[in-house]
Structure 1
Amino acid sequence: MESSIHPLAKKTVIYYLMTTSIMLILMMILGVLMLLNQGEMITITPIWFYKIMTAHGIGMVGIAALGGTAIMWYFLSKYIKLNPTIFLLNFTLSLIGVVLIFIAIFGFDFSDAWTFLYPLPAQSAQIYGIVGPLMFLLGVLILGIGYLIMYMYLAKRFIKEYGGLGKTLGWDYIFRGKKGYGPPAAVVASTMVIITNSTAILAGAIVIIGSIINIIYPAIRMDPMLAKHLTYAFGHIFCNATIYMAVIAVYEVLAKYTKRPWKSNKAFLIAWNASTLFTLMIYTHHLLMDFAVPTWMLIIGQVFSYANGLPVMVVTAYGALMIVYRSGIKWDFASSLLFLAMFGWVAGAIPAIIDATIVVNHVMHNTKWVPGHFHTYMGMGVIAMILGFMYYFNKTEGSIKHNRFDTFSISLYFTFFTGIVGSFLYAGSISTPRRWAEHMPEWVLSDQVGAISGIFVVLATTLITVRFFTGLKGVVNQPNSIN
């Protein structure tokens, strides 16, 4: 693998991971500030609270996407030849988008949450001026364009190398009775991401362009319900895609550590095909409280939200257990975090499935229960996968070795992240609302537990990041590496 990835791509992986790790700490600090304010341990004005909330939400999703993309590109380079210029272009457009977004938030007071739900941007423009909303929406659009270009390029390469996206999803093995094993797991997962996230980005582009037009020409309006569908199709699918990019590290790294290849058998291929279809539909569980939505669509949102939690997650979690069982694997920072990430992913899906039940959703969806499940599978799942890959990258491309410091960092991270998500889920169970700057006295204790836990998570992440940057010296000094 070391000789198969282009030197520019390897250098760009470092750019992605450095940016991801630094931004991760900053966004975590913003999250802790919100909890400290809700827990009455510090005081933040409501205007600043919602600006921080907007930055934290969209920033964390962007971080997960950057880290997941680095994982996907790095391992795909093992199987097909890729043009690193496309990889670098996506990084550049992502940075431009992020800069515009943060200038809009902290320079022009845009604070409509990462969902920028129509017509909030236009209403914000009437209060603070049009620059902030336009800059925010343009930043998100530029970021999406970068990913869309990358996905279209990867689709083209897959079609050339394998003969079509149907083949990279294993249709020959599922429908035509072809014997043996399908394409590598990294290729199968990437195909799913290309299909679902390209659809999401196009949906997002439609509502973003519509919002921009509405801000400039208020007489031109969108149907609010259509705008909400497009927004949540974009946001929910994009968030899910970060998981499916990052999980490639689980397939590749555990297979290498155990010396047992992760084979794409028929069950594996069926699971990924099912998830490709389900992921496109389940955003509708965000609309269960909207009485104007057709009943059949709400039923789809509930039923397939249940179903989507099973195929890929089950085959991946079960596969991880089987590939490790009696393998004699050597546990280090990478293998430990990637294995524990399976727990975070599965654990995060359980409260999500509960929330997708209509009668529960009506009571729980606008409470902290939702950030509880989201932080579980993002923080203890996706981010754990990215952090594990950061160590693996330094080990594979450099000379870093596991030590007791790494074991301590992992323990600190997972112990106190459990405290954060536990405080969120408990708060949701007592109907503590999400996205409120101020809380009633009976809600404050859970906020304080979350804030204190968050401080230790920031500490653990800082230790891991310092370790990563220290390890990069070995990568840079490695002969025939990125010099």
Structure 2
Amino acid sequence: METKARNSIKKGVALSLMVTSVVLVLMMIFGVIMLLNQGNIVKIPSQLFYKIMTIHGTGMIGIAALGGSAIMWYFLSKYIHLNPYIFFTNLILSMIGVVMILVAIFVFNFSDGWTFLYPLPSFSAKLNGITGALLFLFGLLLLGVGYLVMYFYLAGRLIKEYGGLGKSLGWDYIFRGKKGYGPPSAVVATTMVIIANSVGILAGATALSESILNILNPNFAFDPMLAKHLTYAFGHIFANCTIYMAVIAVYEVLSEYTGRPWKSNKAFLIAWNFSTLFTLMIYTHHLLMDFAVPEWMLIIGQIFSYANGLPVMVVTAYGALMVVFRSGIKWDFTSSMFFVSMFGWVAGAVPAIIDATIVVNHVMHNTKWVPGHFHTYMGMGVIAMIFGFMYYFNKTEGAQKQTGYDNYAIYTYFVFFAGLTGSFLYAGKISAPRRWAEHLPEWTGSDQVGALCGSFIIVAALIFTIRFFIGLKSDGRVTSATDKTFNSVS
């Protein structure tokens, strides 16, 4: 029975990675289309641009979360028994939600951006009809329900296994002087994600419900500032938790490759506990331009945005260096992607911390400086971890071998991603606005460089994806069992 459950988990993870890899490539293509339009290389209607912008932002974060959850589920199942049907429940609800969002955007012309800031959806409903707005909002709500089902289930399993979420975060070792090392890093990281992301999703669900009620009955009015707080709390926490799920693979795999366990010592546990708290607090750095926000909240947003870069990021990046140092590690696709992803994470945090400074934020936050930081963090951090795990999964569960194409793809991916993020940061420096379909001539140079770099990134991502699918096909046990498992769940 245990073997059957483990096999079902593997099939669920394989299916999630298949969906993740395909959607990632599609979202990258959408991103390049926007850059080509801003760079005046191709011209598309403005409404189509904002539709693409809406799906690019929503889809990229959503699919990174799906890939991260596959990583989290795969490694956590090594330590505690998990019911694979819970994972499939989240996957199915996510896919239904994605279809609803796609229909809302491309059939019913919803184009308010991922932020769905109240009361914009009601304005969109008046302009294009309520169907598109409601499909988008309910689609996001369904996505949140899927993740809450998974998180609440995992919380129950961790409580049963460790005696409480505090214990699975290592409180016995931090506060009660328990000797030795705390729970496995996968357990600690999962606990942090459960706490932080459940709060974030509930905040987002509240904002979504407000907009839905307002569309159905305009007499229901809400405080727009409160709605914005709820929305950005959701968006910031959810985006951050994608990397906190994905980084579990770095802990597990680098330890395996080097033969050096990544132990949960007291410093590691304290770092993750601080990060749990800070992640819930620092969304306010998105509101530094809002004069109506209480000053103490803005100060929190600035100070703790600085502090949040230190606990997990420094411990993890330093830990990766120490685990690898003089270990005789054999560098392959997986270890290379994971190790360089640490650079992406750290490098992406630097412009984020700069932007979190109030006087800088007032000038830079509505420029392409912000996508510059975010694409560094996501593309060279989270997404690199997911691609690295895809290769590891095929190598471990199948028989995939590294080729020269893989080496070429790694270099191409990181060199041109550095070029893409550099073009964004430079565009922010010259005050090119984000979220604008039309750019002035003095801004288009950076857009054109970004589009060129993005095209090479797509080539690398296609190689990653094709190689992943070939690896699955070469191991008939994975593909056939995946089909059977998914059909039985459906």
- Rounded to whole Å, the distance in 2 between the matches of 1:106 and 1:479 is 31
Deviation at 1:7?
1.5
Counterpart of 1:244, as a letter, is Y
Change in CA separation of 1:410 and 1:479 when aligned onto 2, cut-off 3 Å = closer
Which residue of structure 2 lines up, in the alignment, with residue 131 of structure 1? 131
Aligned residue runs from structure 1 range 24-173, under 5 A: 24-173=24-173
- For the residue of structure 1 that corresponds to 2:329, the secondary structure is coil
Q: Using the alignment, how far apart are the partners of 2:477 and 2:275 within structure 1?
A: 42
Give the structure 2 partner of residue 426 of structure 1: 426
2:348–2:374 Cα contact (<8 Å) kept = yes
Mapped contact 2:337–2:410 kept (Cα < 8 A): yes
* 1:262 and 2:262 aligned: yes
Provide closer, same or farther for how the CA distance between residues 296 and 396 of structure 1 changes in structure 2, counting only shifts above 3 A. Answer: same
Aligned partner letter, 1:118 = Y
1:245 to 1:5, Cα distance in 2 relative to 1, 3 A: farther
SS at match of 1:78: coil
Check conservation: 2:287, 2:298, Cα contact below 8 A.
Answer: yes
Q: Is the 8 A contact 1:397 1:481 kept in 2?
A: no
What SS is found at the alignment partner of 1:91?
Answer: helix
1:474 to partner: Cα distance: 3.4
SS in 2 for 1:9: helix
Opposite residue 22 of structure 1, the aligned amino acid is V
Structure 2 length normalisation: TM-score? 0.97
Q: Which residue of 1 aligns with 2:300?
A: 300
The residue that corresponds to 1:409 in the other structure is 409
CA distances 1:319-354 after superposition (whole Å, capped 9, x unpaired): 000000011111111110010000000000000000
Aligned length, in residue pairs: 482
Tell me if structure 2 keeps the 8 A contact 1:475–1:481. no
- TM-score if structure 1 supplies the norm length? 0.98
The letter of the residue matching 1:386 is I
Aligned counterparts of 2:191 and 2:311: Cα–Cα separation in 1 = 16
Task: Say whether the 8 Å CA contact 2:412–2:457 is kept in structure 1.
Answer: yes
Q: Distance in 2 between matches of 1:40 and 1:319?
A: 45
Cα deviation for residue 294 of structure 1 reads 0.4
Offset, 1:480: 12
- Give yes or no for contact 2:5–2:83 (8 Å, CA) kept in 1: no
Q: Which residue identity lines up with residue 370 of structure 1 in the other structure?
A: V
Match of 1:343 in 2: 343
What SS is found at the alignment partner of 1:280?
Answer: helix
- Unaligned 5+ runs, structure 2: 485-490
8 A contact 1:333–1:391 mirrored in 2: yes
In structure 2, C-alpha distance between the alignment counterparts of 1:476 and 1:385, rounded to whole Å: 25
Give me the whole-angstrom Cα distance separating, in 1, the residues matched to 2:399 and 2:260. Answer: 23
| Pairwise CA distance, 1:473 | 2.1
CA displacement at 1:479 relative to structure 2: 12
1:286 Cα deviation after fit: 0.4
State whether residues 193 and 244 of structure 2, in contact with CA within 8 Å, keep that contact through their aligned partners in structure 1.
Answer: yes
1:316 maps to 2:320:
no
4+ residue stretches of structure 1 with deviation over 3 A? 2-5, 477-483
Find the aligned partners of 1:255 and 1:265 in 2 and give their Cα distance.
15
Asked if the contact 2:55/2:114 (under 8 Å) is kept, the reply is: yes
Supply the RMSD in Å over aligned alpha carbons.
Answer: 1.3
| Contact kept in structure 2, 1:394 and 1:474, CA below 8 Å | no
Shift of the alpha carbon at 1:8?
1.5
Aligned to 1:355: 355
Contact 2:11 2:478 survives alignment (8 Å)? no
Deviation, 1:6, is 1.7
Supply the distance in 1 between the matched residues of 2:238 and 2:438 (Cα, whole angstroms): 30
Deviation of 1:198 (Å):
0.2
**Alpha-carbon contact 1:301-1:356 (below 8 Å) kept:** yes
2:226 — aligned with what?
226
User: What amino acid is the match of 1:152?
Assistant: F
Equivalence map 1:185-224=2 (5 Å) = 185-224=185-224
